[in-house]
């Protein structure tokens, strides 16, 4: 093991022993370059011989490193000593854990307990959003540190047996044959199978912690591990309000819901529990509850957008819109429909839906693009309906066009035939399409002859006109 005064990784000088556990020793150290106080956790030689312990040690580093919260102890670095012992470098904390505080005070005030638990829940919300379940929450792993301004802050420690909900096969080999965790704080499902749990196991554990901090003893206890397990699986805990009348009944009910054996009957997530506890804490607990809920809501939105089932639903909705468009259009291809069937409405939105459906069939995995496409189609549908209503009203209010006369046949404006879109009224819709519109024959003139084609840059008289930019240059 390293000695006091040794330098690890050529930059961390060990100054003193700050703590010791079953697997490692924690040193107070200094970063020689940054002159920063840090904590260095080094595995004991006996623990290094176990591949499982080394893997858990590495898991703690990975789990804590990807959780960005004020209430989770930050991991700054990781590596191995000269003799091969793994080490972690974490932020240095001054203060004590809640187990030490409970031994000194026996019980803690209601407001302080709620503040500590809600801060821990905010840290857990970040962990659960990253699909990490702690699995070993207890007073010893909740550290009461001091901020630079003198206020206190809870830090969640020791993700050594944390579990990701996106487990790999090797994770099951690592934990499947052992009961992991501290027995007094373990949920019933964790006793049965430590790998088949979710965030509600942490809700159970934090409820046990709150119960113990308020009453001075956990709700399930015994002389040995067997009695503790039997109590967790069979015994009904005494409500806090009956154990101590000074504890509000509403708070007692909130904590009692945390430790129900059926996970479905507990609080759904850390944010919901923090919101229920906030009225019993200080003024800052409501803000922490807001942050916890927001973190979990954003994580849920990202998971929904990446879920293949949701992708399939979006594609199905787009294909349904495309099917409706196919019944109103003249063609079956993805081109934007410009022809209005007899007695029907404009089909621009249907054409957009057809294009989006074609794109979704070619790239069904691009869920985000398909979702935006569906929103675009709905927006175009709404725009088309408003545009059609305004066009209809304008058409009713406009005066009737003059009838053609024999003296001035070139001013005659033949009405559009049925099924043909008027050029001027459809200019905006045609601009939405990058493909050329369907070319249709114009109706015959009143004299029974087809209108002669009009050359570009000519007026109604048929005389060619000089381009305007030449006139301006001359």
Question: Which residue in the list 97, 136, 158, 202 is annotated as catalytic?
Answer: 136
DSSP string covering 34-71, please? TTEEEEEEEE-HHHHT-HHHHHHHHHHHHHHHT---TT
Dihedral in degrees, nearest 10, Cα atoms 41, 125, 56, 158: 30
Q: Is 424 known to be catalytic?
A: no
Q: Which residues, in sequence order, are CB contacts of 330 under 8 Å at separation 6+?
A: 337, 339, 341, 438
Burial of residue 411 (CB within 10 Å: 0-12, 13-18, 19+) is: exposed
Q: For 172, which DSSP code?
A: H
| Token pair 């003198």 in the structure block, residue | 150
Query: Which tokens in the block code for residue 464?
Result: 């060619």
Tell me how far the alpha carbon of residue 392 is from its chain's centroid: 45
Query: What does the alpha-carbon distance between residue 79 and residue 52 come to, in Å, rounded to a whole number?
Result: 17
Sheet holding 24-31, edge to edge: 7-8, 12-20, 24-31, 36-43, 86-91, 75-80
* Cβ–Cβ under 8 Å, residues 189 and 263: yes
Give the residue from 47, 5, 43 showing the smallest Cα distance to 25: 43
Phi, psi angle pair for 2, to nearest 5°: -65, 155
Q: Is 95 helix (H, G, I), strand (E, B) or coil?
A: strand
Catalytic residue numbers read: 136
């Amino acid at each position: 093991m390293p000695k006091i005064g040794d330098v690890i990784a050529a930059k961390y000088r060990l100054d003193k022993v700050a703590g010791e556990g079953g697997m490692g020793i924690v040193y107070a150290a200094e970063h020689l370059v940054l002159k920063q106080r840090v904590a260095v956790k080094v595995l004991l030689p006996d623990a290094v011989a176990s591949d499982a312990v080394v893997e858990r040690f590495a898991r703690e580093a990975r789990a804590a490193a990807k959780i960005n919260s004020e209430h989770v102890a930050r991991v700054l670095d990781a590596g191995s000593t000269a003799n091969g012992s793994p080490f972690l470098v974490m932020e240095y904390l001054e203060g004590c854990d809640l187990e030490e505080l409970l031994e000194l005070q026996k019980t803690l005030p209601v407001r302080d307990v709620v503040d500590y638990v809600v801060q821990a829940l905010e840290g857990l919300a970040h962990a659960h959003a990253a699909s990490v379940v702690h699995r070993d929450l207890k007073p010893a792993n909740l550290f009461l540190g001091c901020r630079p301004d003198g206020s206190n802050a809870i830090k969640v420690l020791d993700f050594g047996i944390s579990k990701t909900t996106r487990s790999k096969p090797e994770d099951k080999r690592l934990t499947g044959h052992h009961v992991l965790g501290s027995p007094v704080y373990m949920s019933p499902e964790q006793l049965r199978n430590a790998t088949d749990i979710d965030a509600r196991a942490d809700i159970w554990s934090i409820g046990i912690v709150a119960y113990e901090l308020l009453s001075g003893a956990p709700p399930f206890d015994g002389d040995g591990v067997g009695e503790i397990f039997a109590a967790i699986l069979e015994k009904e805990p005494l409500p806090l309000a009956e154990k101590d009348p000074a504890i509000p009944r509403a708070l007692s009910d909130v904590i009692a819901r945390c430790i129900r054996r059926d996970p479905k009957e507990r609080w759904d997530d850390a944010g919901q529990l923090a919101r229920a506890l906030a009225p019993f804490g200080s003024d800052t607990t409501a803000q922490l509850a807001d942050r916890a809920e927001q973190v979990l809501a954003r994580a849920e939105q990202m998971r929904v957008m990446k879920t293949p089932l949701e992708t399939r639903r979006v594609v199905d909705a787009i294909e349904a819109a495309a099917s409706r468009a196919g019944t109103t259009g003249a063609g079956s291809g993805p081109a934007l429909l410009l022809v209005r069937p007899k007695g029907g409405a404009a089909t621009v939105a249907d054409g957009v839906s057809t294009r989006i459906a074609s794109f979704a069939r070619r790239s069904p995995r691009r869920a985000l693009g398909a979702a935006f496409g569906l929103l675009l189609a709905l927006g175009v549908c709404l725009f088309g309906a408003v545009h059609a209503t305004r066009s209809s009203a304008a058409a009713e209010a406009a005066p009737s066009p003059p009838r053609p006369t024999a003296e001035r046949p070139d001013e005659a404006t033949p009405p559009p035939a049925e099924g043909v879109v008027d050029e001027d009224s459809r200019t905006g819709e045609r601009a939405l399409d990058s493909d050329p519109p369907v070319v249709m024959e114009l109706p015959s003139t009143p004299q029974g002859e087809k209108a002669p084609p009009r050359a570009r840059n000519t007026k109604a008289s048929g005389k060619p006109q000089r381009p305007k930019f030449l006139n301006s240059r001359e």
